[in-house]
Structure 1
């Protein structure tokens, strides 16, 4: 990334920040007599979720320095919203609890926030709401703390999934390898075959990580009806290095074995090093190579095979 590209990206982030803080400002206005600041509301939220909570833990969760936290808690205590006490197990630790009045205050704030955000969402049609929420989840995934072990699910395609497979193949392979629209057209034809043929000896899987589509793979009947074909292995960049590709390949191979095929074949190209490593690790062997230039860059087409 050069300096000009970095400057453009910085400008985009700053423009988003201005837009988003403007939206948050509208949501935070509330009624004219709103009596709680944002830090006070955050403290009440944390305390109603974890009762009691040590002051040191509260400071870490909200990134507060000791002096500011002490003044903030003193204000809430003077209004009868919290109580502070020493821990029975360690007198050096101070515990904070919400009072009944504090719980009531948070319930009011929570209801008001729900109504305000609901009003914002209702300004947009359902499709735009889904796009907005997906974008928010993406930002959270990138800049937030990722879960150590995100839930991986392999499932059959649902309406819209096969179109996503075509679109993501086209976009990712164009960006990463320079493939042109002929490759996307090939993917569309393969996907169409899966969509129209109801065959108990073929299957297609969508991989999800924490509910988001992360990859795909298919198992189809080959020209030799005793040989299965592994098709359309795809991994989103965010899913790479998490074992998703290995799981997809294993699922396809085990399905082919259970269906009575005597082998699985696949076609790939030589520049797809990560995919080729997955195939090699699963026991596939390279059996044929042919020069190929059908998608833009000069390529070598490879046929890999796994015998049962």
Structure 2
């Protein structure tokens, strides 16, 4: 069985559709940058203009080009007076490649043209959309990495912020999708979360209640809520993390923020309700001193479950 047979055909189709859309959108299929050069020609020029100490071997490997094809490109550049070769001090069999002044002069307008076309693409988007586009491209680059190998993990940026319009709906959606996919819970659970979220918005008491939205590298990945159950009791609700954010300590950090908020507001106790099969969340609660007060089997969300009530003295 080949690798292609093991991948979902709809995902393969989606990737190919995106490739066709993107190459068309950035004009790769047109005369590139309105010049007589091919995309590969310009890519080679770019590397030569921005890097020192390049050899043909390194250029061939990093650009994934056929050796004979690259050799013909370099010979054309040399004939045009754009390329200078000098012997490598480390290996006499290799030559160091560098652009001449004429080569830089030929490349400069192409580089500016490329910048102008990229700016024109972005100009049609609102500032927020531009940032979303850039973040999405960075995410694609991070997932695929160089030559299909996952890139080294970059420094992650985590932000816990107040919700803005659209966030609460996203929390409901994430609950519905994750619990259906991972536990088989049906839409009854999504309806429950929607009711809780709607009540939070409609009855929100900012002096006593709070929601945190967790962002990882600019993308929403989690949330947690504290609601007022009584004058002395706070309730922890709707802790959720998307799969990409797991293993980073974000669930614990969100829970710690919620506990600190409740203590700061003078609550004496914090309670929560969960299910026995949610082992990762239960471990977070237990490590922070929550104790299991009551468990009770029930049927809900299309499953047989065990509901649990936990509490923490603040």
Would the TM-score normalized by the shorter structure come out above 0.5? yes
2:36 is the counterpart of 1:30:
no
How many equivalent pairs are there?
A: 303
Q: Distance in 1 between matches of 2:110 and 2:270?
A: 59
Contact kept? 1:263, 1:305, Cα under 8 Å: yes
Among candidates 145, 153, 161, match of residue 159 of structure 2: 153
Contact kept? 2:171, 2:223, Cα under 8 Å: yes
Equivalent runs, 1:34-183 vs 2, <5 Å:
34-49=35-50, 51-52=51-52, 54-55=54-55, 61-63=62-64, 72-73=73-74, 75-81=76-82, 83=84, 97-99=98-100, 101-114=102-115, 136=137, 139-144=140-145, 145=151, 147-183=153-189
Q: Distance in 2 between matches of 1:277 and 1:172?
A: 19
Change (3 A) 1:198 1:37: same
Q: Which runs of 5+ in 2 are unaligned?
A: 146-150
Among candidates 292, 300, 311, match of residue 305 of structure 1: 311
Q: Distance in 2 between matches of 1:32 and 1:156?
A: 44
Show the counterpart of 2:279.
273
Contact kept? 1:40, 1:76, Cα under 8 Å: no
Identify the range of structure 1 (297-306 vs 71-80) with the bigger mean alpha-carbon deviation: 71-80
> Residue 95 of structure 1: CA displacement?
5.7
Change (3 A) 1:300 1:32: closer
Q: Distance in 2 between matches of 1:180 and 1:215?
A: 21
Q: Distance in 2 between matches of 1:102 and 1:279?
A: 64
2:210 is the counterpart of 1:211:
no
Identify the range of structure 1 (225-234 vs 34-43) with the bigger mean alpha-carbon deviation: 34-43
For 2:220, what is the secondary structure of its paired residue? strand
Q: Distance in 2 between matches of 1:146 and 1:32?
A: 32
For 1:242, what is the secondary structure of its paired residue? coil
2:233 is the counterpart of 1:227:
yes
For 2:312, what is the secondary structure of its paired residue? strand
Q: Distance in 2 between matches of 1:255 and 1:95?
A: 62
Q: Which runs of 5+ in 1 are unaligned?
A: none
For 1:303, what is the secondary structure of its paired residue? strand
Q: TM-score, normalised by structure 2?
A: 0.77
Identify the range of structure 1 (128-137 vs 58-67) with the bigger mean alpha-carbon deviation: 128-137
Contact kept? 1:170, 1:184, Cα under 8 Å: yes
Show the counterpart of 2:148.
none
Show the counterpart of 1:10.
9
Change (3 A) 1:61 1:247: farther
